[in-house]
Each structure stands twice: as C-alpha cells, then as structure tokens.
Amino acid sequence: MRFSLPVALCLLALQLAGCTRGAPEQKVLRVKGGPPACGDSLVTGSIGEPSNLIPLLSSDSASSDIAGMVYNGLVRYDKNLKLEGDLARSWEVSADGLSITFKLRPGVKWHDGAEFTSRDVLYTYRVTVDPKTPTAYSEDFKQVQRAEALDPYTFRVSYAKPFAPALASWGMPILPAHLLEGKDITKSPLSRNPVGTGPFVFKQWIPGQKVVLDANPGYYEGKPYLARYIYRIIPDSSTMYMELKAGGIDMMGLSPVQYQRQTDTREFLERFNKFRYPASAYSYLGYNLRLPLFQDRRVRQAITCAINKEEIVQGVLLGMGQIAHGPYKPGTWAYKAKVDDPGYDPARAAALLKEASFVMGGDGILVKDGKPFSFTIMTNQGNDQRLKCAQIIQRRLKRVGIDVKIRVMEWASFLTNFIDKGRFEVVLLGWTISQDPDLYDVWHSSKTGPKELNFVGFKNPEMDRLIVEGRGTFDMEKRRSCYYAIQEILAREQPYTFLYVPDALPAVSARFQGIEPAPAGIMHNLIKWHVPKAAQQY
C-alpha cells in the first residue's frame, strides 16, 4: 500500500512483500517439534535505522517495518494480497460508491490497556489532514469529504466521487487518540516509544543498535508464539551476511549471488531455509518523451526489440526474477499475462529503425539527418544491478547500431539536477509496485510537472480516461478491464521498456517453524511462527 523511499528501492533484496509464482522453494525443516511452543526471539537485521515510530511522520522502510508490527490499520492485505478487515471487522461501500462504513472490532486494547474505538480512527484521519502535520501521506485523505464516528464501533467516511484506492488507504496505521489528541504530534514521545494495537509491544530502542519488541499477550488474534522480535541495525550488507552465517541474526534478504552461489553449501542449507517469490518492484528503462528522438513510437519499440530481457534476468539476477511487460506484479489480479508487446527481435528492431528513416553509417552507428543515433542512459549510484543492466543494454543496442553511453549519478543530484529539470535522455530506474493498481501518480498526464512522477512526460488521452475510470469504481471486474486495457496501451506505446521483476530471496533460520510462504511473502503470519523448545536460543 505504501511506497517506500527510493533508497529502499535500491535495497530491494530486503523487501519481503511478494507474490505468487508457483510454490516457493521450501526445504524440509530439520528440527521436528510437537505442538507450537512459546518463546525465543526472531532477530532480523536492517540497513537503516528507523527514523520515527509514528508512521505518519516517517517514510523510510525501517520505520514502516516496525510500525507494521506495533500498529494495525482498519484493513490489510491478506496472504493472497486481498483486502481483509483488520481493526475493522467488516465494511460496507454504499451503493453509489460515495461512502464506506467500517464496523470496528470491539474489545481491542491499546498496549497501555485503553480501549480502541472509533475516536482513534477519527483522530488519525484528522491529524493526517491537519495542515500542521508534516506528513507525506495526506494525499489519499484529501479526497474525503466527511469522516464521522457514528458510535464507538462504527466509522463512516464519505467521498465526493467514488475513489477505489480509498479502501486500501485505510490500511494506514491507526494512532492512539487518548495519547495524542490535543498535543503536538511532532514533539510526541510516541515517536520513540510507540503505543499501538499490534501483535508486538514496543519495549526498547537503543539508537544505532537495536529495536526490541515483545509479544503482545492481549493481541486480538492471539498472542504470538515468539516472545520477542529484535531488529538489529547493521548498516553494511556484507556485515549483515556474515552475521547471518555466524548466527547473529536469524533472517535477511539475500542477493541473487548470495542465494545462488554462496549459500548453496550443505552447512548453510542445514541451518537456514531459503525462500523465493517475486518482489513488489520492477526495473525499467524510461525515455524522455519530450525529446523529438523519443517521440517516435517506432524508435521506442525498436529499442525494446533490441533488448533481450531474458538475458538481463540471467545476467543481472542470475535467473532470480522474471521479465516484466508492464507495471504490475505477475500473478496479481490486475496483471495481464499476455500483452502484445515487442519481444526480443533484433531484425524487427532494424526494420522499425529503417522505417523511422535511420540509415546505417560507416562506423556501424545509425544516422538520421546527419546526426548519429546516440544517447546516454543515466542511473543512480550504489545500485550494482542497474549498472550491469545498463551495460548489457549498451552492448545489445550497439548491435543494432545505437551508440549508448552510461552515466552513474549520486541520487540527490540525479533527482534535482536531471530528473526534476527534465535534463535526461534515458533513465534506468525502478518502482515499487503498490498493492492497489491505481496508476494516477506515475502515468496520468496531469502528473508531468516538475517534481511529479510522470517525469518521462507520457501523455495519452485514452490512458488518462482509463486511469480515472479505474479509480472511480469499486467494481473489481470493471477495474480489471481498465487495467488490462492500460497494459495494452503501455505495451504498444513503450514509454518505458519494462525490464524485470526481481525475486525477494529471504533466508530464515531453520529453527523457525510455521512459516507459510504465500503471494504476500513470508511475514504475513509472523504471529504463528514458533520454535520448538529444544531449539530455542534466546
């Protein structure tokens, strides 16, 4: 539901949200046990330190990981990535699609013992849209016309027009009104000492070292078997990998090389279970559509034809991923498996370029109007996969007569000096895939301004209409048909060359049992993970 920071994008390997592709590989668990035993700790590592444990005020992935354990939303995505009630027992969308009525779960307690009611929901909404709150998440809630707590267990929210992403937006963590109301949220002690309703209770945060969460004995779904969840801050990924091997942490996301080559020893496989499922992200080559060169659709199609995506998946991800055709995750409901996109076909690439009146020059580079066909692919520093990817593309395009240069830039200057000012030709970047398929922010023509996310400048009236239609109805079938049509437009127009969806590759200590790999990854049933008494470590 929430897009993480771009930094988090680079750390894809750590992402644990995922989706279907057959059964994830699961090794037989070595330690046999009887009924689930309580106790033991799960120790994980994080590259970054959380910034603020009031989720409204932070946007980094470490903070949202912890918030996910401590807080609940009204709704959440279940293991199959379908919306289900969380703090809301049920909800009802009115016939005209203009209001949603949530029936809240009675008897849910905050970690300090106070009762959770609709007052908390109303407060969370109000503080989110309060202009004084420095939050990045108010946008979805600005569409709300009226929010009311009808009684302690009923909450209704009304919109001016039907807004489908609204439902998922109520998955945002609900904050305790009794501790925050009437106070300045930016100065609240809760930012370092959160009180939520979730399966784990905040215990301790030692800056730069660790965050410790204890099992919540009163959790509404039942107390987690694990006694503790410890989040160690280990800023270097090679250190983290060594900690994993030495037993200092129990779980981490592996890189393709680590997964394929470095953990294939018997010793490792005896001590760890490895999992594999598609991550919620994709990489793409984006063309600056304001430049005359890339305004010609045939040129973009030709570039896609000249790129062998399968080779990139093999070369960059060692096969730990799959090729992408569009902006959705394979296997999710909005994803269209078969689209009419240009596949790898160098001959067709040559034909398309010829059609676009490029002729082969003497040095093997195509020429049009006396100018050689040459451009620069820009990508951000610190992401080795993207650099390798750019190099493979460079070689492939050379073969059809396109001269490609590669430029790697520090993230901040990349954004401010190049992306925001439209001073780029082609970029190689990635997006996180949100669970709601709405594409307004990245693809609508109204979002092409400076600092907006349709920075390639894609404008297509048909696309605009479909995006607006798709977010304007709650009818899943209608939405699906919109998104299917959108994927066909993207396949035809190729404003991006969609490259690949990498796999998330977590390894978890073999002493943990009850892990149930699902489309949503492995963390969805954390409260059911358990360790047999004999194998407990902490």
Partner 1 sequence: MAQYLVKRILMLFPLLIGITLITFTVIHLAPGEPVEMQVAMSPKVSAQSRARLREFYGLDKPLHVQYGLWLSHLARFDFGRSFAPDNRPVTDKIVERIPITLSLNVIALILEFGLAIPIGILAAVHRDTLLDRGISVFVFLGFAVPTFWLALLCMYFFGVKLSWLPISGIHSLGSERLPALARFWDMARHLFLPVAIATFGSLAGLSRYMRSTMLEVLSQDYITTARAKGVKERAVIYKHALKNALLPVITLLGFSLPGLIGGSVIFETIFAIPGMGQLFYQGVMARDYPLVMGILVIGACLTLVGNLLADLCYAFADPRIRHGRG
Chain residues in the site for partner 1 (CB under 8 A): 2-3, 5-6, 9, 41, 43, 49, 51-52, 57-60, 63, 131, 134-140, 142, 186-187, 191-192, 206-210, 230, 232-236, 238-239, 242-243, 245-246, 248, 411-413, 415-417, 434, 441-442, 449, 451, 453, 538
Contact 75, 64 (CB under 8 A): no
State both tokens at 64. 């949202």
Considering the complex, state which of residue 145 and residue 416 has its C-beta at the smaller distance from partner 1: 416
Considering the complex, state which of residue 339 and residue 453 has its C-beta at the smaller distance from partner 1: 453
Radius of gyration for the chain, computed over Cα atoms and rounded to the nearest angstrom: 24
Q: What single letter denotes the amino acid at residue 313? A: V
Considering the complex, state which of residue 149 and residue 226 has its C-beta at the smaller distance from partner 1: 226
Considering the complex, state which of residue 221 and residue 441 has its C-beta at the smaller distance from partner 1: 441
H, E, C per residue of 293-337: HHHCHHHHHHHHHHCCHHHHHHHHHCCCEEECCCCCCCCCCCCCC
Please give the angle made by the CA atoms of 111, 117 and 227, to the nearest 5 degrees: 25
Considering the complex, state which of residue 295 and residue 416 has its C-beta at the smaller distance from partner 1: 416
Nearest Cα to 529, choosing from 512, 507, 511, 509? 512
CB of 517 to partner 1, least distance (A): 27
CB of 139 to partner 1, least distance (A): 5
Considering the complex, state which of residue 139 and residue 516 has its C-beta at the smaller distance from partner 1: 139
- The neighbouring-strand residues paired with 204 are 212
CB of 168 to partner 1, least distance (A): 12
Considering the complex, state which of residue 327 and residue 401 has its C-beta at the smaller distance from partner 1: 327
Cα distances from 202 to residues 193, 399, 466, in angstroms, run 7, 57, 44
CB of 269 to partner 1, least distance (A): 16
CA atoms of 456 and 295, how far apart (whole Å): 11
CB of 334 to partner 1, least distance (A): 16
CB of 335 to partner 1, least distance (A): 19
Cα distances from 533 to residues 31, 33, 81, in angstroms, run 10, 8, 33
Nearest Cα to 499, choosing from 417, 409, 379? 379
Considering the complex, state which of residue 138 and residue 394 has its C-beta at the smaller distance from partner 1: 138
CB of 131 to partner 1, least distance (A): 6
Considering the complex, state which of residue 296 and residue 441 has its C-beta at the smaller distance from partner 1: 441
CB of 40 to partner 1, least distance (A): 12
What is the torsion angle, in degrees rounded to the nearest 10, for the CA atoms of residue 16, residue 455, residue 283 and residue 232? -30
Cα distances from 493 to residues 369, 441, 469, 487, 522, in angstroms, run 24, 18, 20, 10, 36
Q: Phi-psi region for residue 484, left (φ > 0), alpha (ψ -120 to 50) or beta?
A: alpha
Considering the complex, state which of residue 29 and residue 408 has its C-beta at the smaller distance from partner 1: 408
Nearest Cα to 202, choosing from 3, 47, 86, 54? 54
CB of 296 to partner 1, least distance (A): 27
Contact 323, 314 (CB under 8 A): no
CB of 237 to partner 1, least distance (A): 10
> What are phi and psi for residue 292, nearest 5 degrees?
-55, -40
